[in-house]
Amino acid sequence: MAASPSGYSRMFFKLRKYANKSQSLYHIDSFNLVIRTIWTSGSRTQLQPKVHTKSLPQMVGVVGLEIHAQIQSTSKLFSGSHVRFLAPPNSLVSHFDASLPGTLPVLNRRCVEAAVLTGLALNCTINRKSLFDRKHYFYADMPAGYQITQQRVPIAVNGMLVYSYFEGRRRDQVVTKSVKIKQIQLEQDSGKSLHDDDQSQTLIDLNRAGVGLMELVMEPEMCCGEEAAAAVRELQLILQALGTCQANMAEGQLRVDANVSVHRPGEPLGVRTEVKNINSVRHLAKAIDYEIQRQMEVLQSAGKVLNETRAFDSKSGNTIPMRDKEGLQDYRFMPEPNLPPLFVYESEASVPAGVDPAQVVVIDRLSGQLPELPSVKRTRLVETYDILQEHSFTLVVRKSTFNLCIPISPCALAELINLVESGHISSSTAKQVFQEMWKAPEKTVGQIVKEQDLWMINDKEELQKICKRIVNSHPEEVQIIRGGNKKVLNKLMGEVQRETKGRTDPVQIRAILEKMVS
């Protein structure tokens, strides 16, 4: 099933942003790709914040990510209570989740499969035998006083995530990098604490307690916020394609903590801080870059970086130290005695006699279920449709079970982009045209524009006349603008757009109006 036309028009306009202005989609030599594969952490790009000192090499940032991905499953990791977002507080809590004594964990098979699928998609080695452990600490949102996790032998290890981002003046140069995935482990999520400072109390909701998580630990091979952001975006696409995690950071389905340090290449790694409380990819980049800068400044002024946990404050864009947890935590890890070792099998043939293959997790069976991953999809788009690689990134976006059976041919699409690029139609008009093209794919772009009289108004005199008309009919607004409130200019612009049915270039209109009003 193809996605909706409005979804496509949104996508389409992202595409236009990246299009090379002087080229159309037809040109074969538009494979103007710059791919730099850099595999070590000593990468030098103009993306990094830099600090120069006289004769020493410059300091660089070192970033490792710890990501908690909430598994998309019907029930929790060790109990049968349901997993649902926004349910009434404490309505999805079983006896085990509340840690009533005498209750025992029972492993959820779907969660194991999700972890194996994710491991396979990230090129990991799946451990045929993995173990569960208890990690002890006291906190009100964790009733048992410990979390069940996989500290000794996790389910998957030694993987790799390949990601890309755009560089260059026109941000059309693709840089592809990779980061090693140290391990993926299964563990329980905690409940939620809601702090009510007014009444000096904390409210606990255990709905989330016991939900399955995959913790992905990445090696510290990234150098800055941009790389981390790109890596996380790619991971989100992969998880969504697999269906193992919805990966929405704002909803807490994907939680990213950054371990940040700085050093001079060749020297040992510096003291690292852990940055938490990041709830978007954008904030992730900001937080990391701020922290790298902060640490460099500390060291520059002969200070010491503390091994601490810091929270990202989105308002100020800074990281601030979190309340001291009374020194280093000793989690007193201990094997989980109520869960025998977890075995997954290579193939049906390797399942031992007497065990029903339908009752166990078989890697081959899951490999067969892997969907087309985003990177493969992008390559296919480039090869099949001759589009620029950077365009393929825009086309493969989240939440689209994107099917390229759209009624619009790539040629027509290219034509449309061309018209916008060359200033014959405005961006808002193009959206309209696109909708039309969808409905009536037999018509050409030109036909539609002509029929609906959508050509852009570029005549300067004409534009002046229109603006004058609007300015004269809105004296109050003009006064307000003159008084200092520039925002009201937008209202006038809106009026112009309405009058001309969107056939004007907003940039030009704004310039004209500003002149007239002042």
Partner 1 sequence: MLGMSIREVSQALRDGRVSATELCRKCINQIQRTLYLNAFITITEETAMEQAQRTDNRLRTGKPLGYVPPFNATVVQKLLDQGAVLVGKTNLDEFAMGAGSTDGVFGPVRNPWSYTSLYREQSTEDPDSDWAITGGSSGGSAAAVASLSSFLALGSDTGGSTRNPGSLCGVVALKPTYSLLSRHGLIPLVNSMDVPGIMTRSVHDAATVLRILQGRDERDSTTVQAPSTPPSLPEHFDIRDICVGIPKEYHAPGLSKDTLAQWSRVADMFEQAGARVQEVSLPHTQHSIVCYHVLCCCEVASNMACFDGLEYGHCSKVDSSTDAMYATTRHEGFNSVVRRRILSGNYFLLKSNYKRYFVKAQQMRRLIAEDFKNVFRSGIDVLLTPTTLSDAARYSDFIQEDNQTRSAQEDVFTQPVNMAGLPAVTVPTALSHRGLPIGLQLIGQTLQDWKLLTVAQWMEQKVNFPIIHLHGESNERELNRSL
Q: How many CB atoms lie within 10 A of CB 362?
A: 20
Out of 13, 18, 166, 333, name the contact with partner 1 by CB under 8 A. 333
Q: Is 281 one of the binding residues for partner 1 (CB under 8 A)? A: no
CA 518/CA 355 separation, integer angstroms? 83
Tokens of 167: 């560089």
# residues contacting partner 1 (CB under 8 A): 31
Nearer to partner 1, 147 or 236 (CB): 147
Which segments of 301-426 does DSSP mark as H helices, in order? 363-369, 374-385, 389-395, 410-421
Out of 29, 197, 324, 330, name the contact with partner 1 by CB under 8 A. 330
Nearer to partner 1, 39 or 139 (CB): 139
Q: Is 140 one of the binding residues for partner 1 (CB under 8 A)? A: yes
Q: Is 263 one of the binding residues for partner 1 (CB under 8 A)? A: no
Nearer to partner 1, 200 or 518 (CB): 200
Q: Which of 50, 402, 473 lies closest to 241 in space, CA to CA?
A: 402
Give strand ranges (E) for 201-313. Answer: 201-205, 212-218, 254-263, 273-276, 309-313
Site mask for partner 1 (CB under 8 A), range 471-500, x = bound: ------------------------------
> Cα angle at 290 between 286 and 291, to 5 degrees?
120
Nearer to partner 1, 180 or 192 (CB): 192
CA 357/CA 350 separation, integer angstroms? 9
The secondary structure element, H or E, covering residue 111 is helix 109-121
* Sole window of 2-10, 331-339, 457-465, 494-502 interacting with partner 1 (rule: CB under 8 A): 331-339
Nearer to partner 1, 95 or 486 (CB): 95
Q: Is 29 one of the binding residues for partner 1 (CB under 8 A)? A: no
The values of phi and psi at residue 313, to 5°, are -105, 105
Q: Is 341 one of the binding residues for partner 1 (CB under 8 A)? A: no
Which residues are CB-neighbours of 452 under 8 A, at least 6 positions away? 432, 433, 436
Nearer to partner 1, 53 or 202 (CB): 202
Nearer to partner 1, 112 or 287 (CB): 112
Least Å distance, CB 111 to partner 1, is 14
CA 418/CA 396 separation, integer angstroms? 22
Compute CA distances 102 → 97, 99, 144, 147, whole Å: 12, 8, 12, 17
Nearer to partner 1, 190 or 253 (CB): 190
Give strand ranges (E) for 189-324. Answer: 192-196, 201-205, 212-218, 254-263, 273-276, 309-313, 318-321
Least Å distance, CB 361 to partner 1, is 15
Q: Is 337 one of the binding residues for partner 1 (CB under 8 A)? A: yes
**Tokens 């809590």 -> residue:** 93
Q: Is 340 one of the binding residues for partner 1 (CB under 8 A)? A: yes
Least Å distance, CB 344 to partner 1, is 16
Nearer to partner 1, 154 or 191 (CB): 191
Q: Is 145 one of the binding residues for partner 1 (CB under 8 A)? A: yes
**Rule CB under 8 A: which of 83-102 touch partner 1?**
95, 98-102
What residue ranges bind partner 1 (CB under 8 A)? 95, 98-107, 134, 136, 138-140, 143-146, 202, 204, 330-334, 337-340
